[in-house]
Structure 1
Amino acid sequence: MRGPALSSLALSAAEEGGFQPPTISETHLPDILPWMAPWGTGFGKNMLMVILAVVLITWLFSFAIRKQALVPSRGQYLAESAYGFVRNTMGRDILGDKHFRPWIPLLFTVFFFVLFNNLFGAIPGLQMPTFSHAGPAYAMAAIIWVTWIGLGFKLHGAKFMKLMTVPSGVPKPLLLILTPLEFLSNFIIRPLTHSLRLMAVMLAGHIIVMLAGSGAEFLIAQQEGIANAGLGVAVLLGSIPLYFLELIMMVLQAFVFALLTAIYIQGSIEADAH
């Protein structure tokens, strides 16, 4: 069923006093500074949270390591543990001892930037993951795409295109089929899935929480008996496990996004290894 048809059904239900579920359009809040939007791209809540994430990450880690004591404080220990997790799990284990060090700043930034922007969806008041919208997810994936593609051409020159599109050891007749597929897979589909995986999971979790909250509010506000009110409270209580499930997915998606970034970079570095 198409979007306009769903909107019409929801509007009819609302006019008849029925439940009107939240729609995707309701996740797109009005611009904070609409006068900055001559082309319809004003300064909105998403952009504000991107800036807030940069400020928070910078301040938290700067504050945690400000003393750099030999016997670390709790904050310094947590900051060093977070750095060590990215360094070892996403850096050294994926890129190898020889190549991982120059890429730790990028992997650290990617992981915590995505993590903080995801966790905004679990904070009352903010209550919206930045990457539940396609624009920020596309932008992040585009930055990573340009990085590993540029690295590949820097290390291997024009040969990088052949290494990424022509499988070795394949009979020549099959190359007519496999080469276009490899090109689409590596250069087109890879950045799309990198972004859409993050966006789809964040949007789905956000919609589920919105649906549970609006459904509970509708049932409780109806005042048509204790049964409806009790059901509304049950829906509200049932949304608590969903909230923690979404919290887990926020962390997991930040890890997956950064891990794939490391894998793509490793693929560019060792493109001629096979």
Structure 2
Amino acid sequence: MSADVRALAASGTTGECSDPHIFSSQPTGCGFEAPTTGIFFPTPWFTYDLPYTSGITKYALVLAVVVVLVSAFWFFTSRNAKVVPGRWQSVAELTVGFVRDQMVRPGMGKAGDRYMPLMLTLFTFILFMNVMGIIPGLQLPVTSNLAFPAVLSLLVYVLWNVVGIREHGFGGHLKAKLVPSGAPMWIMPVLIPIEFISNFVFRPLTHAVRLFATMFAGHMLLAVFAAAGFYLFNPDAGGILSAVSIGYSGMALFGFLVFTAFELFIMGLQAYVFVLLASFYIGEAIEGGH
């Protein structure tokens, strides 16, 4: 097991054990300690007396790394753009084309081109925050903390309302979101509260929770595989136990690597889904319909 896998395995466990492995010629009675939600609540390095804050934690460090990486990526790939692009400029252009053609224009049409800088930033920012969960030495997806997806969802929610009000006026925006076209008047007392809760409460909530829950669950799954592999690994057990230990630990490590690759795909998919939904929401506000 690598040092990073062992660190991930140990980060969420509690208690101490003299022999934290299952295969041993002289068992000490130590059981498997599964990772807990403690891996998502790192100890603050610095605290301050402000309400609703937890101080400076590992999340702040990882977020700072993401900001630097995203800023550096777009700065160095666009500052000397050439007609015949180099390798990194090609990656940047492919990213721009992917966001525009697969997310923004399907949701907003060509009117969405004015929102491309925001959507492009959202996509790369979320993608990098997600990928931090498998970077050795960091191994913490920023979006596994609900506060970060909530802020991004709130940004989209505010923009959705601002665009709708700007395009159709306050009353027109509310009417478009609360009064389904073609519905009979007698059912409006039932439909309007339902539409209000659906559009103005559940929409931003599910937008944030979808990203948070997926990253939370995926990182926990990786931690379980890492902890299981570490628990099974005991080459000093002696005799046949050493061979069995290494075999089972290797299987757990293989599962860890497979799910890491799968999690990388999910990380990209969640960035795509978040921006695609944001594009559809804003496109809906521009058109003034549901």
TM-score (norm 1): 0.89
Q: Which runs of 5+ in 2 are unaligned?
A: 1-13, 21-27
Matched letter for residue 191 of structure 1 = P
Question: Which of 144, 156, 161 is residue 168 of structure 2 equivalent to?
Answer: 156
CA contact (8 A) 1:117 1:130 kept: yes
Which digits, 9 at most, give the CA deviation of each residue in 1:199-245, with x for residues without a partner? 11101110000000011111114955232332122111121111101
SS of the residue aligned with 1:35? coil
The CA distance in 1 between the partners of 2:236 and 2:168, in whole Å, is: 69
User: Which gives a bigger RCO, structure 1 or 2 (Cα 8 Å, sep 6+)?
Assistant: 2
The CA distance in 2 between the partners of 1:183 and 1:105, in whole Å, is: 30
**Aligned residue in 2 for 1:210:** 223
CA RMSD of aligned residues (A): 2.1
Matched letter for residue 45 of structure 1 = K
Moved more, 15-24 or 141-150: 15-24
**Aligned residue in 1 for 2:279:** 262
Q: CA deviation at 1:96?
A: 1.2
Indicate whether 1:251 and 2:263 are aligned: no
Indicate whether 1:141 and 2:153 are aligned: yes
Aligned residues: 262
**Aligned residue in 2 for 1:79:** 92
Q: Which runs of 5+ in 1 are unaligned?
A: 1-9
Q: How does 1:41-56 map to 2 (within 5 A)?
A: 41-56=54-69
Moved runs in structure 1, 4+ residues, more than 6 A?
Answer: none
SS of the residue aligned with 1:175? helix
TM-score (norm 2): 0.84
Matched letter for residue 160 of structure 1 = H
Q: How does 1:164-183 map to 2 (within 5 A)?
A: 164-183=177-196
Question: Which of 94, 103, 106 is residue 107 of structure 2 equivalent to?
Answer: 94
CA contact (8 A) 1:137 1:199 kept: yes
Matched letter for residue 138 of structure 1 = A
Question: Which of 104, 116, 120 is residue 132 of structure 2 equivalent to?
Answer: 120
Which digits, 9 at most, give the CA deviation of each residue in 1:130-171, with x for residues without a partner? 001111111111111111112111221222111101111112
Q: CA deviation at 1:26?
A: 2.4
**Percent identical residues:** 34
Which digits, 9 at most, give the CA deviation of each residue in 1:51-98, with x for residues without a partner? 22121111112112222122111111111111121122222232112x
The CA distance in 2 between the partners of 1:243 and 1:69, in whole Å, is: 36
**Aligned residue in 2 for 1:7:** none
Matched letter for residue 86 of structure 2 = S
Q: CA deviation at 1:43?
A: 1.4
Question: Which of 22, 31, 47 is residue 18 of structure 1 equivalent to?
Answer: 31
**Aligned residue in 2 for 1:110:** 122
Indicate whether 1:235 and 2:248 are aligned: no
CA contact (8 A) 2:47 2:54 kept: no
Over 3 Å counting, the alpha-carbon distance change for 1:16 and 1:152 in structure 2 is farther
Over 3 Å counting, the alpha-carbon distance change for 1:37 and 1:237 in structure 2 is farther
